[in-house]
Amino acid sequence: MKKKKLLSFLMGGMLSLGTFLPSANAAKIDAYRDILLSESYTIRYDNITPPPRVTNRDRMELFGKSGLSVERNDYLTNRQSSGIIVDDGTDRYEEVGDEDFSMCRLTKGREDFYFTKYKKGDSYQYFGTKENKVEANAKNYLSEVVEGQSYGDPEVSRLLKAMLPSGRKTAGQEVYSYVKGGSLPEGLSYEDYKSSNTGQTSVIRYYFAGQSLVKIASASYYRKPDGSMDGHKCIIRITEFSSVPDKSLLRLPDGVEDVTKRKEKK
């Protein structure tokens, strides 16, 4: 409840300061921005472009408790993945992976539970501190306020945070502004955004079928210290982006036990 109050206070402040960017004529993305700001949603996506390879090994390995550092997970390297993000204003769930293996984080109030979900036979097993046991970590509010909210993997986090108004971002974060929009064949339309980041050029195109966000494509490139160019592209297919949180994901999965030793409040 407090979170809701805080949100409404912040939104009120931003409206009064006129910091709701980007441009007013970018109408279709506004509905999705409002959903993110309402903190009540279910988002499901497929990351078509595998994350760039950050390790120099092709070996696959499962890591138990490695948080949602998707880019550091060998299994998810060079592999298409899917993600789920659910928020109901108090609790939150993030999952990134594929049919066989996913990294998950469930936030209950001020506690984070990190665990992995993997297929064993025909059913899923979970691993937190031990098989089917999880332990709460204190939520890291500093990283959240400095880096902004995480939405699944880092790439999708960047593409969804780009929708948020600049008043919701700290000084180090990228701010995107509307460039142009238009129509495409087969009933699709698009809106283009560009980052203000001076170090690199980043552009994002949001694709809509009617009013529905169906795809996000992004390209960024920059010049390396030796003068050569480097870049990265990413394509995300949005399979669900609704304002209704899937409450079944906002609790620990059946069979998973919370073994946190909590100090009793005096």
Partner 1 sequence: MKAKISAVALAFSLGGVCHSAQAEQPAAEGYRQIFQSGAFYVEYKDNYTTRIIAEKDGKRMERTNYETGMSWMKYLNPLGMLFAGEDPKYPEVLHKDGKYYQFTEEDKGKVCEDDKLDAENLNPREGWGDIGRKLALPMELALFFWEDPYRAGTTALEMPKELWSGKKTVGDKEYDCDRYASRIPSATGGEEALYIYEMLYLDGGLKKICSYVKKGEEEYPVNTLEIKKIEGTVPDGLFKISKKTKIYEAGMGDMNDLLEQPAQIGTMEGI
Report yes or no: 114 and 128 within 8 Å, Cβ to Cβ: yes
Find all residues with CB under 8 Å of 122, minimum gap 6, and list them: none
Residue type, 39: E
Q: Which two tokens stand for residue 90?
A: 């108090």
Q: Does 62 bind partner 1 (CB under 8 A)?
A: no
10: left (phi over 0), alpha (psi -120 to 50) or beta: alpha
In angstroms, rounded to a whole number, what is the distance separating the alpha carbons of residues 107 and 150? 12
Integer angstrom CA distances of residue 181 from 184, 190, 196, 211, 261: 10, 5, 18, 13, 53
- Identify which of residues 108 and 169 has a Cβ nearer to partner 1 in the complex: 169
> What is the smallest separation between the CB atom of 138 and partner 1, expressed in angstroms?
7
Q: Does residue number 55 form part of the binding site for partner 1 (CB under 8 A)?
A: yes
Binding residue for partner 1, selected from 40, 166, 189, 260, defined by CB under 8 A: 166
**Residue 138 binds partner 1, judged by CB under 8 A:** yes
Q: Considering only 30-38, 166-174, 205-213, 247-255, which stretch makes contact with partner 1 by CB under 8 A?
A: 166-174
Which range touches partner 1 (CB under 8 A), out of 86-94, 150-158, 162-170, 204-212?
162-170
Which residues, 6 or more positions from 24, have their beta carbon under 8 angstroms from its beta carbon?
none
- Judged by CB under 8 A, which stretch of 87-95, 125-133, 171-179, 180-188 contacts partner 1? 171-179
79 makes contact with partner 1 (CB under 8 A): no
- Between 106 and 164, CB nearer to partner 1: 164
Q: Which of 48, 146, 184, 259 binds partner 1 (CB under 8 A)?
A: 146
6 binds partner 1 per the rule CB under 8 A: yes
Of 63, 30, 35, the C-alpha closest to 211 is 30
C-alpha to C-alpha distance for 225 and 247, rounded to whole angstroms: 48
Between 6 and 244, name the residue whose CB sits nearer to partner 1. Answer: 6
In the complex, least distance from residue 74 CB atom to partner 1, rounded to whole angstroms: 8
Distance, in Å, from the CA atom of 125 to the CA atom of 141, rounded to the nearest integer, reads 29
Tell me if 50 contacts partner 1 by CB under 8 A.
Answer: no
160 forms part of the interface with partner 1 (CB under 8 A): no
Give the burial class of 27: count Cβ atoms within 10 A of its Cβ; 0-12 exposed, 13-18 middle, 19 or more buried: exposed
User: Which stretches of the chain bind partner 1, using CB under 8 A?
Assistant: 2, 6, 9-10, 12-13, 17, 19, 54-57, 72, 74, 110, 138-142, 145-146, 166-173, 175
